[in-house]
Structures are given as C-alpha cells and as structure tokens.
Structure 1
C-alpha cells in the first residue's frame, strides 16, 4: 500500500542523490587541468625502421609535480 510507495520514493531519491554525487566527482576530475612546466629530458627510441624522439615533461597538477614521456611531435602541438 502507501508504505510501499513511500519506501520506493525514498529509494529513488537516494539513488538520484548518489548519481548526482558521482557526476560531480567526474566533473571535478575533468576540471583538474595539468600544465606542462618544462622539458626535463630528451631521448630517441630506435626501432628497426625508424626513430621516435621523446621528451620527458614535468607537469604541475593539484597532486604535485608529475613526469611523463611524450612523443616530441605530439607534444609540440
């Protein structure tokens, strides 16, 4: 009866709140912008037929400095 309807309505509200919280977290992660600070190192990987120039980039993020290797031609864009 009415108790079942009330219980179901409360569960729906609870689910909506949890979904909104998850969306807010995802937006927060998407808003974290990292800025490249400097090129720390350069390296050329040699394959059988080609060479790939790589650069080691230091990024500023909210969690502190991070380092990644990126292809030089893709990073310059």
Structure 2
C-alpha cells in the first residue's frame, strides 16, 4: 500500500500517509498482526521524515549568518533584475544604476586590495553585463561526441580580472568575432 501511495502521489506522498493508514486499518485482514505491523511501519516512516526535516533545519540554521552592515562598509553586489529590497547610496559614476537591491545580493567586501575599477575602463551592455572581447585564439581541438565532432578553440579574453582563457565552440566565436579568424583557416572546413 505504501509503495502504491508513493507511485500515485509522487513528491507529495508523505501528506497522504494518513489516508493509507486509515484505509489499512479499515480493511479486512486475515491476520490482525498485519494491521499492527503496517501501523508500526507508518509511525516509523513519520518519525524518519520528521528526523530528516529536523536535521535539515539544524544544518540550515548553523550556516545562516545575520547580515549586518555599517555606514561606510564596502560591499560586493551581485546584480539580479528581479529582487528588490535595500537602497544604497552609490557613487556619481553609477547614477544610471537603480540603487535598490535585495539584501541577499550584498556581500561584505573583505579584500585588502582595492577592487575599484574606474567606470571609464569598463564596457557594459544595456543589461549592465561586462563586455569582454576575445583577443586571440590560443589553441584548437576537436571534441569527439558519440555521433558528431565539434571544433572548439581556446580563447584569450581582455578581462579586467587578469589573464582569462576559455574553451568555446569555434562556429559560435567565428560568427560573433570573424576578425579573429583572418589569418586562420577554420577547423570545420
């Protein structure tokens, strides 16, 4: 009965355990000890589920730390377009940025070195994402999948964080940045 309950009700099956218990206790059984054993198993399942919930709650509470900021503290901001809650006083260079953010997007900045990059050095798109351009193709390979071969290239980017390399699909980079391929023949040709 429990197996059928899990299959029928899917993810919310534990909410329906009382129905299984009721059905089992009100069914005709050849042996009364079956009722007792089934009820005992249902009680054990409930206790196990409650113990699991309690464990998860305690793990979450251990890692949960209250966020406290003082006026003048530096914070790191993770931009997310759908969450709003905390208003910040931003520098004049960021006057075109909406100054209200969800508190979970703020993290205390504990770096000793200055992470400030002058706004004139940044390239941002209309959604305020950093625009980083590829500088050159460093290497190329062909990724072998079960039924296809995909040419990939190692690209060096002009990142403000220092040297940054990523492996990208050759056809996608060629479509966006054809100038990188002026001296190179495509591996897919």
Same fold per superposition (TM over 0.5): yes
Which runs of 5 or more residues in structure 2 are unaligned?
Answer: 1-84, 89-97, 102-121, 176-189
More strand by share: 1
Asked if residue 66 in structure 1 is aligned to residue 164 in structure 2, the reply is yes
1:52 counterpart SS class: strand
Q: Deviations over 1:16-68 (max 9, x none)?
A: 6237154xxxxx87352211000000000111211000000000111112110
The alignment status of 1:48 with 2:146, answered yes or no, reads: yes
Larger radius of gyration: 2
How many residue pairs get aligned? The number is: 60
Q: Decide whether aligned partners of structure 1 residues 46 and 16 sit closer, same or farther in structure 2, where only a CA change above 3 A counts.
A: closer
Relative to the length of structure 2, the TM-score reads 0.28
Who is 2:137 aligned against? 39
Structure 1 stretches of 5 or more lacking a match?
Answer: 1-14, 23-27
Alignment RMSD (CA, Å): 2.9
Number of the residue aligned with 1:20: 99
What TM-score comes out, normalization by structure 1 length? 0.62
